[in-house]
């Protein structure tokens, strides 16, 4: 190993002075470092502009346009991806991924912009990968003629690319409102955009109606543009009031559900179209989970049958299964029905705005008018220039020989133009044009044929000037273009509408088999649902070592369950959520089954047949000697909430929870940690309507003492019932027989 020189060793010993740190206010850091990034993401990456494209889409399509792919044969995708980097230097992989979404084979768009050949994956599958760019071929789809209409006639601004070697358009002069025809999703910083696609023919008709009557009523507009339309088809559950709000504000959501066919011969359901916002993998995973959990016993097998003919997911059914009823269940439990959340954020002049459908079309009309005016001005300039040249040519018609003589008689080339200008009274441009005419064309026939265009040009110029002077004529021109686009590229709706009044919602309670059961909860939190038939065959309840029965009751399979925890929380479930078990098995561990918090224990259980109309009460007893009665219906919820926090007072640990039916009166045993106890009637305990009421003092306790046990069925705990009844509260507990020991306590242990 080479030895270090003495100079280097000496240099290493010289102390390095730490760099000075200049404090910078956080507001300045955000303004200088963060805000430029934020604005770049919003304006130049994630949010679409009024032409319906993000910069990455626009640069890709413009590259293909400049490559001449609007006509002619396809080219390799790799050629396009590489060439696009001249405008979009972000790597060919991301460019190719952008291209994939725009292709016909990917099926993400109602009207694809790229005519593709090869494997490009599918929008409805996350795992169906697209082939490498060197294998696939692309060209622009014919509808792209409408994107580039007027782009070479100064319809939009052209700006330099990133290295100033080329120019590119800031927007495409789309001749139809592509912003509402092509779906767009973008996540910026502090905002997002999610624009659904609409049917091209409907949007064109709606825009024409808006051009003809800018004050058209929203209801009338919705009769034309009925609802969104997706490339994956499926069906929208149509609520006109909710859809109207989306049209008005650009924000809201609607449900989309799959379409299916039942094959009676094979006894299977074929899912043929799914919501745009989900994938076959998400659906298959959810169905698989439900089958494993035993919640889809109607399905014996399911498989992906996607092929060249399109999407298909097949579900094999058990004999006797009602396919329509099963699909209602699947719509509720799986992504076969999914929500599409709308957020119509669009960049208008570099400013993001959330707009409704008609507002977006109004902005597009303004944009399209500016494009049309620029195209007309461009055409007008070209025609005026041509007319000017032809008028100069007309002046030499009567004396062609003189023109030839002037050119022949001029000694210097530089004097030809000035001599022609003086000889015929024309300007420099006209003289230059005449001088460039070939000698063979300097004849009467050629000149007459050329100047015969003057009248037609003058008429065309007058027509263009008339259109430029009238916004009404400009709108009429745009409307005609829209009608042409509709007739040429319009398609029938892919997505059907199902009106809310025709939708049958699946209610699990209506389809749960009902039968009597016995419910058993152990002290350690193990739960069993035992059918009466099973109970008759084996009526001996078994528990794990050290565990014992806490409570049991008769119920029905359609009842609801409340499980009280020692952390002042109630967990709700349904009896049908649990599989029937034998009396001899351990059962379900409730804290794990219902997702209790860490360290949380189950201390009580009650079934309810009709929670909202339950007129019974719960008696809650606490370690500090207090107690309270709470109406049972305070635990009823209209939503499917599975957990209620603040279910009862947490000022002291709970040592007993008992249910009393309406008008029921029971004796309750209370036991303290000193071995003393008392019996009192439940009618002495006051009723409070607030769940978290701490109650009133029932048992008088000295400092450091606590109540540790309570029971409502206690006759089997004593050989002879002790005389410890109390007729008023609070009361001091009395001595219990020395042989008495509480079977358990719910107080926390160290």
**Residues 6+ away with beta carbon under 8 Å from 750:** none
Contact 394, 386 (CB under 8 A): no
Catalytic residue among 135, 162, 499, 744, which?
135
**Residues 6+ away with beta carbon under 8 Å from 529:** 517, 518, 519, 557, 575, 578, 579, 580, 581
> Can you tell me the distance from the alpha carbon of 632 to that of 619, in angstroms, rounded to the nearest whole number?
10
User: How long, in residues, is the chain?
Assistant: 750
Q: Which of 646, 513, 665 is nearest to 576 (CA)?
A: 513
> Can you tell me the distance from the alpha carbon of 479 to that of 489, in angstroms, rounded to the nearest whole number?
15
Contact 118, 193 (CB under 8 A): no
> Can you tell me the distance from the alpha carbon of 705 to that of 652, in angstroms, rounded to the nearest whole number?
13
C-alpha dihedral over 317, 318, 321, 325, to 10 degrees?
A: -50
Residue with tokens 């035993």: 294
Which CA distances in Å does 360 have to 92, 255, 367, 552?
Answer: 33, 23, 11, 63
> Can you tell me the distance from the alpha carbon of 69 to that of 79, in angstroms, rounded to the nearest whole number?
11
Contact 745, 708 (CB under 8 A): yes
Which CA distances in Å does 199 have to 109, 261, 483, 714?
Answer: 11, 24, 14, 73
Phi-psi region of 734 (alpha: psi -120 to 50; beta: other; left: phi over 0): beta
- Nearest-5° angle of CA 173, CA 176, CA 181? 115
Give the max Cα distance, the chain.
148
Q: Which of 167, 115, 120 is nearest to 144 (CA)?
A: 115
Report helix, strand or coil for 606: strand
> Can you tell me the distance from the alpha carbon of 146 to that of 126, in angstroms, rounded to the nearest whole number?
31
Regarding beta strands 235-238 and 496-499, do their DSSP bridges make them parallel or antiparallel, or are they unpaired? Answer: parallel
> Can you tell me the distance from the alpha carbon of 386 to that of 425, in angstroms, rounded to the nearest whole number?
18
Which CA distances in Å does 645 have to 515, 569, 595?
Answer: 31, 5, 14
Both tokens of residue 439? Answer: 């000698």
Residue with tokens 């309507």: 689
Which CA distances in Å does 614 have to 37, 520, 606, 681, 682?
Answer: 59, 21, 12, 22, 18
For 574, list phi and psi in degrees, rounded to 5: -120, 145
List the strands of the sheet with 696-697, edge to edge.
Answer: 654-660, 617-622, 626-631, 696-697
> Can you tell me the distance from the alpha carbon of 636 to that of 632, in angstroms, rounded to the nearest whole number?
8
Both tokens of residue 369? Answer: 């008018």
Buried b or exposed e, range 574-613, using 16+ CB within 10 angstroms: bbbbbeebebeeebbebbebbebeeebbbbbbbbbeebee
Catalytic-residue membership of 65: no
Q: Over the Cα atoms of the chain, what is R_g?
A: 41
Report helix, strand or coil for 676: strand
Neighbours of 115 (CB within 10 A): 18
By annotation, the residues acting in catalysis are 135
């Amino acid at each position: 190993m080479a030895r270090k020189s003495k100079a280097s060793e000496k240099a290493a010993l010289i102390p390095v002075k730490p760099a000075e740190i200049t404090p910078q206010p956080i507001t300045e850091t955000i303004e200088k470092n963060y805000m430029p990034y934020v604005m770049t993401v919003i304006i130049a990456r994630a949010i679409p502009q009024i032409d319906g494209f993000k910069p990455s889409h626009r640069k890709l399509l413009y590259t293909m346009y400049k490559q001449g792919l609007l006509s002619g044969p396809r080219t390799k995708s790799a050629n396009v991806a590489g060439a696009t980097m001249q405008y979009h230097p972000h790597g060919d992989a991301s460019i190719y991924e952008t291209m994939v979404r725009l292709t016909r084979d990917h099926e993400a768009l109602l009207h694809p912009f790229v005519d593709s050949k090869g494997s490009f994956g599918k929008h409805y599958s996350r795992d169906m990968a697209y082939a490498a760019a060197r294998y696939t071929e692309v060209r622009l789809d014919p509808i792209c003629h409408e994107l580039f209409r007027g782009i070479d006639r100064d319809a939009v601004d052209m700006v330099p690319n990133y290295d100033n070697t080329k120019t590119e358009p800031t927007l495409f002069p789309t001749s139809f409102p592509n912003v509402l025809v092509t779906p767009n999703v973008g996540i910026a910083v502090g905002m997002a955009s999610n624009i659904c696609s609409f049917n091209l023919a409907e949007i064109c008709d709606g825009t024409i109606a808006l051009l003809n009557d800018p004050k058209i009523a929203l209801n009338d507009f919705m009769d034309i543009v009925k609802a969104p339309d997706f490339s994956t088809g499926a069906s929208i559950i149509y609520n006109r009031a909710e859809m109207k709000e989306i049209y008005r504000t650009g924000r809201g959501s609607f449900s989309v559900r799959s379409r299916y066919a039942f094959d009676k011969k094979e006894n299977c359901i074929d899912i043929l179209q799914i919501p745009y916002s989900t994938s076959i993998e998400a659906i298959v995973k959810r169905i698989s989970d439900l089958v494993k959990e035993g919640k889809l016993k109607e399905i014996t097998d399911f498989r992906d049958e996607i092929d060249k003919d399109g999407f298909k997911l097949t579900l094999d059914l058990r004999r006797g299964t009602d396919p329509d009823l099963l699909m209602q269940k699947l719509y509720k439990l799986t992504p076969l029905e999914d929500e599409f959340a709308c957020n119509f954020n669009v960049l208008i002049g570099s400013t993001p705005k959330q707009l409704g459908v008609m507002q977006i079309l109004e902005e597009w009309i303004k944009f399209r008018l500016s494009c049309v005016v620029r195209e007309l001005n461009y055409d007008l300039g070209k025609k005026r220039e041509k007319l000017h040249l032809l008028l100069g040519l007309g002046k030499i018609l009567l004396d062609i020989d003189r023109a030839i003589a002037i050119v022949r008689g001029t000694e210097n080339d530089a004097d030809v133009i000035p001599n022609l200008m003086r000889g015929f009274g024309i300007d420099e441009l006209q003289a230059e044009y005449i001088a460039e005419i070939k000698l063979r064309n300097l004849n009467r026939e050629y000149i007459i044929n050329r100047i015969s265009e003057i009248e037609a040009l003058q008429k065309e110029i007058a027509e263009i000037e008339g259109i430029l002077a009238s916004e009404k004529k400009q709108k009429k021109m745009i409307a005609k273009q829209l009608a042409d686009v509709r007739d040429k590229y319009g398609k029938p709706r892919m997505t059907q509408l199902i009106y809310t009044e025709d939708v049958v919602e699946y209610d699990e309670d209506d389809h749960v088999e009902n039968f009597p059961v016995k419910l058993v909860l152990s002290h350690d939190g193990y739960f069993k649902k035992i059918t009466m038939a099973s109970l008759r065959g084996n009526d001996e309840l078994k528990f794990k070592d050290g565990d014992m029965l806490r409570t049991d009751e008769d119920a029905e399979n359609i009842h609801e369950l409340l499980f009280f925890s020692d952390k002042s929380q109630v967990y709700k479930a349904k009896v049908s959520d649990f599989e029937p078990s034998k009396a001899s098995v351990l059962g379900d561990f409730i804290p794990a089954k219902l997702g209790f918090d860490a360290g949380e224990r189950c201390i009580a259980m009650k079934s309810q047949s009709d929670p909202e109309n339950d007129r019974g009460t719960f008696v809650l007893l606490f370690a500090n000697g207090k107690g309270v009665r709470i109406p049972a219906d305070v635990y009823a919820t209209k939503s499917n909430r599975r957990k209620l926090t603040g279910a009862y007072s947490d000022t002291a640990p709970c040592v007993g929870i008992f249910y009393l039916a309406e008008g029921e009166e029971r004796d309750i045993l209370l036991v303290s940690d000193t071995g003393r106890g008392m019996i009192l009637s439940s009618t002495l305990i006051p009723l409070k309507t607030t769940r978290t009421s701490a109650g009133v003092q029932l048992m008088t306790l000295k400092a450091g003492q606590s109540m540790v046990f309570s029971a409502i069925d206690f006759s089997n705990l004593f050989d002879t019932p002790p005389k410890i009844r109390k007729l008023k509260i609070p009361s001091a507990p009395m001595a219990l027989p020395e042989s008495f020991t509480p079977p358990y306590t719910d107080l926390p242990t160290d």
